[in-house]
């Protein structure tokens, strides 16, 4: 089955990323990494929030109705909607000024997996960190562009990719969210359909993989087989997130970064937020345990 995503919010971010549905505010949030901005939109696709940070920001975990934990370059940072206060929680690569955060996600046990990379995508300059109740541990080293971080519904598997078409998987301790085995070299490879960017799992454990350069999002079965393709009318699809009252709306961030003037003329709404209704719901993102 192939369907097509439609424009939801004409935001035209330079590098749209990190979408998440806030269950307590009932809004979709997403980032423009390069413009250091967090946006949100209501059910009609109208922008509600446009919050600017001091450095690049990429993902967030919900703490409660009023607070987020935001992956800003060099730190995990607390943001408070009531006061607009931005305060550090823990440093992340504070000594590597050439790096920034990228793909990240809260696991089923309430811990934050935080990916980093070089601002110029230098090979092997990044890593993935595991934040759990105040402690930070590096769990994947020598990463170029961390992406596709997501987790099975039971919290027993993590998925990940490093700047490629192939997605890997690793067994987890579901109580702590920490890896208990080696990363398997192969979960799913979809050559010719764009690079594997951000990903999320649905309630049946299928992985939805955004495809940078491919203009698509793929639904991949738990055994690594391609199940469904959804076309997106822009090239650079960066990350999916489930939301809406029934969790059956799949939101998709996109990007204008690296598109030529000719491509931008053909794709004027590149960088905007897209959406498609699906038949299998997603899962609410877990709240972050500080």
Active site residue 197: yes
Classify burial at 168, counting beta carbons within 10 Å of its beta carbon; exposed 0-12, middle 13-18, buried 19 or more: buried
Of 32, 162, 197, 202, the active-site residue reads: 197
Contact 216, 229 (CB under 8 A): yes
Contact 115, 198 (CB under 8 A): no
Q: Which phi and psi (to 5°) does residue 155 adopt?
A: 75, 15
Strand partners, 137: 130
Catalytic residue IDs: 197
């Amino acid at each position: 089955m192939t369907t097509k995503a439609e424009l939801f919010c004409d935001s035209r971010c330079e590098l749209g990323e990190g979408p998440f549905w806030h269950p307590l505010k009932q809004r979709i949030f997403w980032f423009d990494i390069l413009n250091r901005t967090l946006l949100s939109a209501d059910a009609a696709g109208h922008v509600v929030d446009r919050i600017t940070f001091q450095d690049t920001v990429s993902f967030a975990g919900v703490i409660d109705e009023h607070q987020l934990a935001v992956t800003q370059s060099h730190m995990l940072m607390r943001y408070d909607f009531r006061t607009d206060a931005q305060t550090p929680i823990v440093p992340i690569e504070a000594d590597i000024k050439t790096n920034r955060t990228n793909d990240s996600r809260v696991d089923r046990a309430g811990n934050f997996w935080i990916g980093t990379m070089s601002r110029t995508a230098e090979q092997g300059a990044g890593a993935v960190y595991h934040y759990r109740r105040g402690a930070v541990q590096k769990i994947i080293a020598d990463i170029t562009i961390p992406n596709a971080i997501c987790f099975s519904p039971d919290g027993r598997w993590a998925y990940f990719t490093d700047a490629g078409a192939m997605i890997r998987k690793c067994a987890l301790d579901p109580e702590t969210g920490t890896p208990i085995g080696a990363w398997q070299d192969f979960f799913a490879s979809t050559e010719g359909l764009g690079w594997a960017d951000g990903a999320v799992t649905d309630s049946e454990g299928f992985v939805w993989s955004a495809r940078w350069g491919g203009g698509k999002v793929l639904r991949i079965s738990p055994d690594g087989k391609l199940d469904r393709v959804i076309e997106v009318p822009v090239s650079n699809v960066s990350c999916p997130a489930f939301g809406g009252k029934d969790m059956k709306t799949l939101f998709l961030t996109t990007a204008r970064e690296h598109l030529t003037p000719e491509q931008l003329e053909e794709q004027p709404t590149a960088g905007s937020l897209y959406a498609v209704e699906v038949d299998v719901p997603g899962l609410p993102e877990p709240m972050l345990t500080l």
